[in-house]
Chains A and B, each alone.
Chain A
Amino acid sequence: MTGLRIALRVEAMAWRRSTVQHLATPLLVLLVPLASVGLTALARSGAVGGAGAAKLADYATGDLATTHLVLAGQVLSVAVLIAGGFAVAATFGQPLADGRAGAYFGLATPRGTLALARGLVLLGWVAACVVAAVALTVGASAAVAATASTPFGPTAWAAAGRALVAGLLAAGLALPFAAVATATRSPLATVGALIGVVALTQVVVLVGAGAWFPYAVPSLWTGTGGPEAAADVGGAALAITAAVAPVGAALVVVQWRRLTDV
């Protein structure tokens, strides 16, 4: 347990100082409220016509605050996976690519413990970003709603809760890419795999199997595919999606314990 505590402190310090964290945190935390409030305003302004108007049609009507928070959930479920995937690619893939991982051998803190701590720190960071992004969106939405003299009611709070859960589920979906980074020993290959999974998710949703595909679940559950698709996502699918993070963490810990030829 002492080893894990040390590893968590060391990994947290390293992640706090990393360039990837410095870039990703403001992007993730600020993009979500800006996109949610901005796109809703754009949809209701009548300034967008043609295909753009059709895309934004779902956000042009309905309770203002609820629309903000629904949109926040939809943006979060994709943005968190991308940001988390990049973070995992950098933190697990780069030391293996540049040889620094060789220095993790023969330490009093075992490599598996370091890998677990690295995954937990990243998970904690993404979760904190999700909470901050939802909180900022709630604040921005409440301010806009007050200006427009519309209520920030229970449906808005429910959408905020769903956005929070969807964001946390998406955060966990990034962890298996640590295993990809370890297997490929390449951050670029990991990003390639991330893009591949996002593309595969589109195909799975198109053929109608998205409600059971973990990488589609957060997005569908927040209404990206419409209300019917959201209703198709049940508790079992959410539980399977939530299980991806511990499975990914366990996999990368085993991989790091067995590392060789580094």
Chain B
Amino acid sequence: MDSALLLDDVHHVFGGHRRGARPALSGLSLAVAPGEVVAMIGLNGTGKTTALRVLTGRLRPTAGSARVLGNDPARLPVGAARRFGHVVGAALVDPALTVTENLRVAAELHGVAGAAAGGATSAVIERLDLLPWAHTRARALSLGNAQRLGVACAVVHSPAALVLDEPTSALDPRGVVLVRELVRERAAAGAAVLVSSHHLDEVARVADRVLAVHGGRVVGSLDPGGAALERNFFDLVLAADTAGARSPGAASMPTGRVA
């Protein structure tokens, strides 16, 4: 089956050839098929968010390629853009607009027209339990509710490919469950979902596959149902660090080395 989300041997160096240039990605490859939830886990500064920025077209990589629904994400055709949603960093939320207005705007900008935008807005408000804040301005929301609104704005058009960076980082346990169920529902509807997270327990519950990212590349995959996910993750990181220390020129990659 063709991948809906694809990163192929992506390299990126911040700062180009200047002094102090900082390599961020070093041949990162991954693929997410329709109906699949893939989680990326890794330590801080090891390239997860940079990879997602490449995948959403926000950053042109130094080398390698990215594909969203078969298209270059930096020049996504309208037809593909209607089927793509993402939250990487700041969401498609205007602090001055209410929750309902933000969702309506997100629906329209994602290509949902007219009355359908109103229906999609109501549906996602109900799905993510945002009704009590429907007429509250986004700037007045708590951090957790603002994050839920951001996720809602990314899924209001029922995308076939979805990218979420740390979607539950500010959520309370109930919010975590709501977003987890939403992600599983999108996958059950045939969407390809890529999630990045630090929370091993959470990815174990939501993902079909877990990829460990370290030193700007995928260093291995983990069984989300495995009993020792944390132990196995650190084993992969340690193995990558050990292999990196043996190979010449590896010292310049940020690895978030494990002590």
Using a CB–CB cutoff of 8 Å, the interface residues on chain A facing chain B are: 2-3, 6-7, 9-10, 13-14, 17-19, 98-100, 102-110, 114, 260-262
Interface SS, A side: helix
Q: Please tell me if the beta carbons of B81 and A108 are within 8 angstroms of each other in the complex.
A: yes
Contacting B73 at CB < 8 Å: which of A13, A100, A105, A261? A105
Task: Please tell me if the beta carbons of B105 and A107 are within 8 angstroms of each other in the complex.
Answer: no
Residues of B within 8 A of A14 (CB): 94, 96-97, 105
> What 1/0 flags go to B86-108 for Cβ under 8 Å of A?
11111111101100010001001
CB pair B105–A10 under 8 Å, yes or no, is: yes
Question: Which residue in B58, B78, B93, B94 is a CB contact (below 8 Å) of A260?
Answer: B58
Whether A102 and B89, one on each chain, are in contact in the complex, defined by CB atoms closer than 8 angstroms, is yes
Q: Are B91 and A103 in contact (CB under 8 A)?
A: yes
B111 on interface, CB distance cutoff 8 Å: yes
Q: Which residues of A contact B233 (CB under 8 A)?
A: none
Q: Which are the 3 A-B pairs with shortest beta-carbon distances?
A: A108-B111, A103-B92, A17-B96
* Size bin of chain B's contact surface: 20 to 34
Residue numbers of B with Cβ under 8 A of A are 53, 56-60, 68, 73-74, 76, 78, 81-82, 84-94, 96-97, 101, 105, 108-111, 113, 153
CA distance A59 to B86 in the complex (A): 59
Cα of A99 to Cα of B53 in the assembled complex, Å: 12
Checking B87, B92, B105 against A13 with a beta-carbon cut-off of 8 angstroms, the contacting residue is B105
CB distance from B163 to the nearest CB of A (A): 9
A17-B96, A106-B84, A108-B111 known; A260-B60 Cβ under 8 A: yes
Task: Please state if B57 and A105 are interface contacts (CB–CB under 8 Å).
Answer: yes
A261-B96 contact given A98-B90, A106-B73, A109-B109, CB 8 Å threshold: no
Which B residues lie within 8 Å of A19 (CB)?
96
Interface centre among B60, B93, B96, B113 (most CB of A within 10 A): B96
Establish whether residues B60 and A99, one from each chain, have CB atoms under 8 Å apart when the complex forms. Answer: no
Q: How far is the CB of A96 from chain B (nearest CB, A)?
A: 11
B56 touches A107 (CB 8 A): no
